[in-house]
Amino acid sequence: MGRENSKILIFLLLLCLSSCRKDKPDRALISPSVTGGVFVICEGSFGSGNAALYTINNTHDSTFGDLYAAANDQPLGDVFQSMKHIGDHLFLCINNSDKIIVVNAATLKLVSTIHVPKPRYILPVSASRAYVSSLYTNKVYIIDPQLFTLTDSISLPYKNTEGMCIANGSAFITPWDTACNKIYKTDPITNTTQAIQIGGYAPQAVLADKEQMLWVLAGNKTQGKPATLTRLDPSTGNILATYNFPIAADPLKPVWNPAKDTLYYIEIDYTGSNKNNGIYRMGIHDATLPAQPFITAATNQYYWGLGIDPATGYIYVGDPKGFIQKGNVMSYKPGGSLISTLSVGLGPGSFYFGE
């Protein structure tokens, strides 16, 4: 999906600001006058309630935050996991606070709060229904994004429902459980599910390429489940390819380039070593995983956030700096040349482009 010309982008006034960073914005400056920019989802540190929403302007020379606190005179909460634009509203999953905050997309003013246990990601499946994955549970919760209510849930055989996507009219759900080697094809009308086996255990992310084939990233290094990447046909469930990562690799957060023919992902080493640590990429018909990173993490550094602007192909990378100080976001041109490095909130974990 391309970038929408919607209220989510009308809010971003960053181009008219100076090039210095504005951590505590004057509310009078928040005016729906200029489009452009990217949202930065800053998770904050676990248990501290210091999550924040930032933006970077599309000239890559300034940031603006904390936007929600400036608009509502209150903090977001504990661990800002993800954000989704539905209709005239933004839905913000605040994981450890057990809530989804709903704000007006043009003003970021609070509209409603939906209480959902440990919400992770939101997948709209119709005008009046959206799925919400949930940490620690075996459920996918169903909310009404028009009435801002929790309406139902889907139970799966495994816990830690995580990544989701739509392909060929069906929803696909990944339970990030070390005992699970399946994803679940779900009818978005009846909510009935069908298990599809993958090439590894602990599926954590699923996304569809330009040919509408699914890619499933699985694994949990700390629990002894090696990482795998499976390409499969969502219509038949047939596995087309399975890629096995090195034992030391800990990949996460796969995203597409605009053409959806090249997959990017993070490999993370929390010790900041020079091996299996950086941003990697591979084509959808490559026979093997890439041996070297496309963007290398420096010694004593690791990356936590990754996003690619579907309109420009620019790459955004979040450095959490160990979650003990404000993080940085580096932006790159599609070829990998660095554009800028800017300071944002604590724990930049993902990016939102209004797609």
Name every residue whose Cβ is closer than 8 Å to that of residue 299 and which is 6 or more positions away in sequence. Answer: 272, 273, 274
pLDDT value of residue 24: 43
- pTM to 2 decimals? 0.90
317 contacts 340 by C-beta, under 8 angstroms:
no
Of 9-18, 47-56, 200-209, minimum mean pLDDT range: 9-18
Beta-sheet strands, E only, within 87-188: 89-94, 99-104, 110-114, 119-126, 129-134, 139-144, 149-155, 161-167, 170-175, 182-186
* Domain map (residue ranges) of the chain: 1-115+310-355
| Residue 14, both tokens | 């960053």
Of 49-58, 186-195, 275-284, minimum mean pLDDT range: 49-58
| Residue 221, both tokens | 């290094």
22 contacts 62 by C-beta, under 8 angstroms:
yes
23 contacts 29 by C-beta, under 8 angstroms:
no
User: What is the spatial distance between Cα 246 and Cα 253, in angstroms, rounded to a whole number?
Assistant: 17
Question: What is the number of other CB atoms lying within 10 angstroms of the CB of residue 194?
Answer: 12
**29, pLDDT greater than 50:** no
**34, pLDDT greater than 70:** no
Q: How would residue 355 be classed by pLDDT, with cut points 50, 70 and 90?
A: low
Across the beta sheet with 251-256, the strand order is 251-256, 262-267, 278-283, 295-296
Across the beta sheet with 52-56, the strand order is 63-64, 52-56, 38-42, 348-352
pLDDT value of residue 36: 53
343 contacts 326 by C-beta, under 8 angstroms:
yes
For the chain, percent of residues with pLDDT exceeding 90: 84
Question: pLDDT tens for residues 144-162?
Answer: 999 999 999 999 999 999 9
User: What is the spatial distance between Cα 155 and Cα 139, in angstroms, rounded to a whole number?
Assistant: 5
Which pairing describes strands 52-56 and 38-42: parallel, antiparallel, or unpaired? Answer: antiparallel
Which string of b and e fits 13-27 if b means at least 16 CB within 10 Å?
bbeebeeebbbebee
pLDDT value of residue 235: 95
pLDDT value of residue 204: 98
The CA-based angle 206-207-213, given to 5 degrees, is: 110
Residue of higher predicted confidence among 172 and 271: 172
Question: pLDDT tens for residues 84-106?
Answer: 999 999 999 999 999 999 999 99
